[in-house]
């Protein structure tokens, strides 16, 4: 049985909910990522902010990116998994909820993220095909 711990990315870049959209965008640019976990002041996971959130919910609305914080933009967490969760369940969860990133929490703390690229690198082709069909194949 392959688990979340075996496929998750642990080298994550995060922002706090009070950081600006400019800070988040710069981190995304510098690290070549399209999403960042958003943490509260006490380190708990608040949500995830994506490059699309920044464009659609801030820039396109005329918000000042240097004063707008990422907290309100962070998409609500649909689901999280623990580090010992089976990869089959992870694929099903991500597919059913049509999500491309899944936070991994241990004792309430963010310890990793699983993205579609993690799935592509670590799970069988048939499981990746199932995920792709669930996320991208719906009309």
131 CB neighbour count, 10 Å cutoff: 22
Q: How far is CA 76 from the centre of its chain?
A: 11
Chain segment 124-139, per-residue pLDDT in tens: 888 888 888 888 886 5
* Helix ranges, the chain (H): 4-7, 21-31, 51-57, 87-96, 116-122, 125-136
- Residue spans of the domains in the chain: they are 4-136
Q: What b/e sequence results for 93-130 when a residue is b if at least 16 CB atoms lie within 10 Å of its CB, and e otherwise?
A: bbbeeebbbbbbbeeeebbbbbbbebbeeebeeebbeb
Q: Cβ(112)–Cβ(7) under 8 Å?
A: no
CA–CA distance, 27 with 32 (Å, rounded to integer): 8
**What is the reported pTM?**
0.88
Judge whether residue 95 has pLDDT over 60.
yes
Average pLDDT of span 86-92: 93
Chain segment 40-85, per-residue pLDDT in tens: 999 999 999 999 999 998 888 888 999 999 999 986 766 899 999 9
Question: What is 4-136's CATH number?
Answer: 3.10.580.10
Per the prediction, the chain carries an average pLDDT of 91
Q: Cβ(137)–Cβ(128) under 8 Å?
A: no
């Amino acid at each position: 049985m392959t688990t979340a711990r075996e496929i998750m990315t642990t080298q994550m870049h995060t922002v706090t909910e009070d950081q600006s959209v400019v800070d988040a965008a710069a981190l995304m640019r510098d690290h070549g990522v399209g999403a960042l976990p958003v943490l509260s002041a006490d380190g708990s996971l608040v949500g995830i902010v994506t490059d699309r959130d920044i464009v659609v919910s801030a820039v396109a609305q005329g918000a000042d990116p240097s004063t707008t914080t990422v907290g309100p933009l962070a998409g609500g967490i649909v689901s999280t998994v623990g580090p010992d969760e089976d990869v089959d369940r992870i694929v099903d969860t991500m597919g059913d909820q049509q999500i491309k990133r899944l936070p991994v929490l241990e004792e309430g703390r963010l310890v990793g993220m699983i993205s579609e690229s993690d799935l592509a690198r670590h799970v069988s082709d048939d499981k990746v095909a199932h995920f792709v069909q669930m996320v991208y194949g719906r009309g």
